[in-house]
Amino acid sequence: MEFPLIEVERKFVPSVDVDQVLMESGAQFVSDERFTDLYVDNTDWALTLRNHWLRRRDRRWELKCPVATSAHGPEPELDNLTQRYLEVYPEPEIICKVSDLMGIDSSSLCSVNDLLIQAELLEFAKFTTERRCFELPAGVTAVLDRTDFGWSVGELEIMCKDQGEVERAVTTLEHLARDLGLEIGPNTIGKMSAYLRQNNPAHYKRLLEARVLFEK
């Protein structure tokens, strides 16, 4: 796919019978996946403190960038269960965005590997996820993730082509989550939050202070 898509995503705590709940709501099981994510940042956490997440998922580099919420939308603290992120895959676009953000000259950079060296980006997290994927009506995907460090989380997702589709997607996901009785609770945090809380409390604390991550 050539153009970047906006991922609208709503996390939930998977109950023991979540597969059944999804199937009874018309979901179809699509696939089992297994992938390893390796996240990088510099020693000042220049990317993640700006809510930019550069990772290599198996062999492909991916950049997740925040998308501005609607002027009429709720405050981030109230709205942080439904996330909106631009997903960027082509390496030239990743190089361009990260270089701009970090104020570095990208003219000699041919690959993300070159960028890592120039911007002094180092691995700060690496974990493997087992994912079960389901398709639901209205273009919704549900995924159930379990990581190799013992964290489980569910996500409802809609991929949007442009900003105009985003607020409708947020509403669709909120209604669906409510109708399915999907749990939001103190444990409704994503894999990265759980990983940093467990493995790098200093980084986790700075991201909470910067209001990039939130505790539920």
Judged by the rule CB under 6 A, the positions of this chain that interact with ligand V4E are 7, 9, 11, 53, 64, 80, 83, 85, 155, 189-192, 212-213
Q: Residue 24 or residue 209: which is nearer to ligand V4E going by CB? A: 209
In whole angstroms, the minimum distance from the beta carbon of 12 to ligand V4E comes to: 10
Tokens of 94: 């990743």
Q: Residue 136 or residue 212: which is nearer to ligand V4E going by CB? A: 212
Q: String of b and e for 127-138 (b: at least 16 CB within 10 Å)?
A: bebeebbbebee
In whole angstroms, the minimum distance from the beta carbon of 77 to ligand V4E comes to: 10
In whole angstroms, the minimum distance from the beta carbon of 213 to ligand V4E comes to: 5
DSSP bridge pairs for 204: none
In whole angstroms, the minimum distance from the beta carbon of 57 to ligand V4E comes to: 7
Q: Residue 85 or residue 124: which is nearer to ligand V4E going by CB? A: 85
Q: Residue 50 or residue 96: which is nearer to ligand V4E going by CB? A: 50
Report yes or no: 195 and 124 within 8 Å, Cβ to Cβ. no
Contacting residues for 127 by C-beta, under 8 A, at least 6 apart: 36, 37, 147, 148, 149, 191, 195
In whole angstroms, the minimum distance from the beta carbon of 82 to ligand V4E comes to: 9
Q: String of b and e for 29-45 (b: at least 16 CB within 10 Å)?
A: eeeeeeeebebbbeeeb
Q: Residue 49 or residue 107: which is nearer to ligand V4E going by CB? A: 49
The 8-class DSSP code of residue 211 comes to T
